Amino acid sequence: MSHQFDQTDMGILQLLQEDARLTHKELAHRLHKSVTPIHIRVRRLQEEGYIKRYAAILNQDKIGKSLTAFTQVQVKEHSQEGLLAFKEEIIKITEVMECYHMTGSFDFLLRIVIRDMKEYNDVLIDKLAKVKDIGHVESFFVISEIKHETAFSLHTKT
């Protein structure tokens, strides 16, 4: 049975993006609904994959990870095997927080979060350079973060 995604579902998702610790009772109160239907909807949103997971968003500076690099990687081998091998290796590098397969002159864009330039150099030499078939690598370092959102806008057309 398929369920129609509606305003209540969007309200739940919007509120949980702002604070994933909200209880079903708090969600119900804010959405002017009763607790049981909210509980059922949250569970359905999880089962249907709208909610991937819950996480705490940490302050990079407070945990000593104050340097962010956006690193573009061009691979030498563009075969299916070569691209899959790259993906399998890159996900093992814990400092790589995000990896995107891109169009354009570079094949992948990585967001690498580290303590400092020395740690970046260690990641580059000891980890990234060991990944098979890497060609050109170019990195850009964040001077200051202007905007960082984790919540999607869920406004609907009216």
At 111-156, the pLDDT tens digits run: 999 999 999 999 999 999 999 889 999 999 999 999 999 999 987 5
At 67-87, the pLDDT tens digits run: 999 999 999 989 999 999 999
At 12-62, the pLDDT tens digits run: 999 999 999 999 999 999 999 999 999 999 999 999 999 999 999 999 999
Domains assigned to the chain: 7-47 (1.10.10.10), 67-141 (3.30.70.920)
88 within 8 A of 134, measured Cβ to Cβ? no
- DSSP H helical segments within the chain, as ranges? 7-18, 24-31, 35-47, 80-90, 117-126
The C-alpha atoms of residue 27 and residue 7 are separated, in whole angstroms, by 13
